[in-house]
Amino acid sequence: MDKVVLETYSKKISVIISEGESAISLLQHEALSHQLATLLRECGRPSVFQDSSFILPWYKENLQKFYPVIVVAYAGDRLVGMLTLAREIHAFRGSYCNKLVGAGNFFALYQNWNVLDEYRLDFWNLGIQSLLKKMPGCIINLKCLPDIEIFQAMENFPKFRRMTVLEKFQNPVLDFKVEGYEKIFGKRHFKSKINRLNRAGNVKFEKITDFRVLEKIFPQIAQYYSIRQGAAFNKIPFSSGIQDWKVFLEWLKNDTLHVTGLWLDEVLIGAVMIINDFGKTAHLAGLITYSPRHAKLSPGLVHLYLVSQLLKEESYHHLKLSPGYDAYKDRFSNRQEEIYELLISRNQFQIIKRKLRGWFRKILLNRGIRPNDFEVLLSKTKSKWINRFWAFPKKFKKRKTGDLLSRLDSLSAKTEDSCIDFNNEALDALLLVDDKTFDVSRWEFLDDALKRLEENEKFISHIVKGKLQVCIWYKDGELTSQDLTIKNLEKKITKIFLSPNF
């Protein structure tokens, strides 16, 4: 990437805006790393999310998706202010989007600038405002300011109020320093879940410290997580393979990541990855997932319970569960932390739009509706109608179940044919769909698939040129590809998904 550096000066400070590779080079300087640690302490808000140990691996491993942008301020040779951002890159066009997010994106719970009090005005004028002038039309969105005083101290700065919108959220916290935290661990609900899992087989809970072990099991973790994210939000993480999850390996190497796995009869059924904030606070901002096949045993809930106990034994002060209005987070928390999302923009339309969003979310919450659920419903409906649009020309195409099964029966005998990819119970096959694959949207398909997996239905799949063409769900009995005949399948099938192009 091109090296781009913009410098501005005042009587007090000099501000440098570094982009792309030059931003990465800046963070790699050992002197800056030491100065940054000093700055975080002096500001009274040391956080791993602003530390180079967290930011640098994320920058390096996401260069295809995010363009690094760093604003640094110096008073002489002394680092007095810093803000680490990333500009999103459009997935299909490859062009830069008009949105700047905090470095780490959704993995970074805290996103804010750290500036010594006496330099805040200059940092706002020379740093942040200069950046937005340099990138016309861009907005800066910082998801989680941990302290409203940061905002309040700048409210009277020129143009600050007119260019910003603040929205408050609650972050559930399990605080081991609060009296009576033991009651969380003593809940009968958790103990019954643990006992049920133990009765199911040999359970092993283990902390993973070797990146090679994580590298070995991550493909399975990625499958579980992608299916769940696809069903919940129509997102398929880790679709590019190791390049998408290499950052977790790098974080584990430098002790920024706390990883545990859960096994049942030597089969991995869950993983929890937590961001380690200097050994004092653990943030559930990394990843939590579990096997859909074992959902009835509540492995996610049991795993989080075991992780919480382990963190207490390791002398952590808190487990911060991240915002989201999730019921399970309320079960694990004993207090709430207020955090704030901040939008900065020179465009008044963006400011008004964000204020309207905040106003509408408050209405939903007052009516007992989670804003996230409402947004998901709208997105799911949009996805559904996009699919119906593409499927309409082929909706009248006749597809007989008997003909389909006969065709699959013949395919099952052609295992040597390199053009045929015929799978039994291959979870990754379920992810090889888009909104044009079947007569339902990808979101509807994955949502349905997750429910069927949790009900222990089985499936067979037929893949052509990297795309899922047929998915047949069945129950009651074991079937392999060699058993796939009309006689064996007809009474066991619960659902058939067939591509219009098949």
pLDDT at 151: 84
Residue 314 shares a structural domain with residue 192: yes
| CA-wise closest residue to 72 among 7, 3, 10, 144 | 7
Q: What angle do CA 414, 420, 423 make, to 5 degrees?
A: 90
| CA-wise closest residue to 47 among 113, 3, 96, 105 | 113
State how many domains the chain has: 3
Residue 76 shares a structural domain with residue 197: no
pLDDT at 492: 78
Residue 365 shares a structural domain with residue 408: no
Pick the more confident residue, 449 or 11: 449
By the 8 A CB rule, do 345 and 140 touch?
Answer: yes
Q: Is the pLDDT of residue 482 over 60?
A: no
pLDDT at 164: 95
pLDDT at 14: 92
Is the residue at 293 inside a domain?
yes
Residue 435 shares a structural domain with residue 460: yes
Average pLDDT over residues 126-145: 92
Average pLDDT over residues 149-171: 89
Tokens 């859960």 correspond to what residue? 262
pLDDT at 418: 37
pLDDT at 405: 61
Token pair, residue 63, equals 């260069």
pLDDT at 343: 96
Average pLDDT over residues 162-178: 93
Helices (H), 97-171: 120-122, 129-134, 148-152, 160-163
- Bridge partner residues of 89 (DSSP): 96
By the 8 A CB rule, do 401 and 408 touch?
Answer: no
pLDDT at 260: 98
pLDDT at 462: 85
Residue 16 shares a structural domain with residue 99: yes
Q: Is the pLDDT of residue 239 over 70?
A: yes
Is the residue at 387 inside a domain?
no
Taking the CA of residue 104 as centre, how many other CA atoms within 13 Å lie in the half-sphere pointing to its CB?
27
Q: Check which CATH number belongs to the domain holding 154 and give it.
A: 3.40.630.30
Average pLDDT over residues 162-169: 93
Q: What angle do CA 472, 464, 243 make, to 5 degrees?
A: 100
Token pair, residue 414, equals 């052609």
Average pLDDT over residues 4-32: 84
Pick the more confident residue, 7 or 101: 101
Q: Is the pLDDT of residue 406 over 70?
A: no
pLDDT at 391: 63
Residue 350 shares a structural domain with residue 304: no
DSSP for residue 323:
S
Residue 15 shares a structural domain with residue 110: yes
Percentages of the chain per state (helix, strand, coil), in multiples of 5: 45, 25, 30
Average pLDDT over residues 245-254: 95
Is the residue at 110 inside a domain?
yes
Taking the CA of residue 365 as centre, how many other CA atoms within 13 Å lie in the half-sphere pointing to its CB?
13
* Alpha-carbon gap, residue 138 to 419, rounded angstroms: 47
Q: Is the pLDDT of residue 229 over 90?
A: yes
The residue out of 284, 318, 333 marking a domain boundary is 333
- Bridge partner residues of 50 (DSSP): none
Residue 261 shares a structural domain with residue 349: no
Pairing of strands 281-290, 458-464: unpaired
Tokens 């769900």 correspond to what residue? 473
Q: What angle do CA 465, 469, 474 make, to 5 degrees?
A: 135
Which amino acid is residue 380, in one-letter code?
K
Token pair, residue 335, equals 């207090």
Pairing of strands 139-145, 96-102: parallel
At 330, the pLDDT band (50, 70, 90 cuts) reads confident
pLDDT at 421: 47
* Alpha-carbon gap, residue 41 to 36, rounded angstroms: 9
pLDDT at 191: 85
Category of 20 on φ-ψ map: left (φ > 0), alpha (ψ -120 to 50) or beta? left
DSSP for residue 265:
T
Average pLDDT over residues 45-59: 93
Q: Is the pLDDT of residue 483 over 60?
A: no
Q: Is the pLDDT of residue 99 over 90?
A: yes
Residue 216 shares a structural domain with residue 354: no
* Alpha-carbon gap, residue 122 to 162, rounded angstroms: 18
Q: What letters, b where the CB count within 10 A reaches 16 and e where it falls short, cover 339-375?
A: bbbbbbbbeeebbeebeeeeeebeeeeeeeeebbeee
pLDDT at 386: 75
Pick the more confident residue, 165 or 423: 165
From 130-139, 222-231, 410-419, 482-491, the region with the lowest mean pLDDT = 410-419
- Bridge partner residues of 16 (DSSP): 7, 72
By the 8 A CB rule, do 140 and 100 touch?
Answer: yes
Average pLDDT over residues 250-261: 97
Pairing of strands 203-208, 164-175: unpaired
> What proportion of the chain, given as a percentage, has pLDDT over 70?
87
Is the residue at 254 inside a domain?
yes
Q: Residue 92 sits in which domain range?
A: 4-169+339-369
pLDDT at 107: 93
| CA-wise closest residue to 294 among 225, 425, 200 | 200
**What is the CA 317 to chain-centroid distance, rounded?**
24
By the 8 A CB rule, do 154 and 115 touch?
Answer: no
Is the residue at 384 inside a domain?
no
Residue 446 shares a structural domain with residue 309: no
pLDDT at 408: 59
Q: Is the pLDDT of residue 398 over 90?
A: no
Average pLDDT over residues 484-496: 68
Average pLDDT over residues 39-45: 88
pLDDT at 417: 41
The residue out of 333, 355, 389 marking a domain boundary is 333
Residue 141 shares a structural domain with residue 199: no
- Bridge partner residues of 139 (DSSP): 99, 345
| Residue 394 dihedral angles phi and psi, to the nearest 5° | -110, 10
Is the residue at 154 inside a domain?
yes
Average pLDDT over residues 413-432: 65
Q: Which residues contact 79 (CB under 8 A, 6 or more apart)?
A: 32, 35, 36, 38, 39, 72, 73
Model's pTM, two decimal places?
Answer: 0.89
Is the residue at 395 inside a domain?
no
From 168-177, 187-196, 299-308, the region with the lowest mean pLDDT = 187-196
pLDDT at 92: 79
- Other beta carbons within 10 angstroms of residue 98's beta carbon come to 14
CA torsion 464-488-292-202 (nearest 10°) is -130
Residue 137 shares a structural domain with residue 204: no
Q: How far is CA 360 from CA 143, 343, 344, in A?
A: 18, 16, 20
The residue out of 281, 305, 333 marking a domain boundary is 333
> What proportion of the chain, given as a percentage, has pLDDT over 90?
58
Average pLDDT over residues 407-434: 65
pLDDT at 454: 94
Q: Is the pLDDT of residue 283 over 70?
A: yes
Average pLDDT over residues 234-239: 88
Is the residue at 392 inside a domain?
no
At 369, the pLDDT band (50, 70, 90 cuts) reads confident
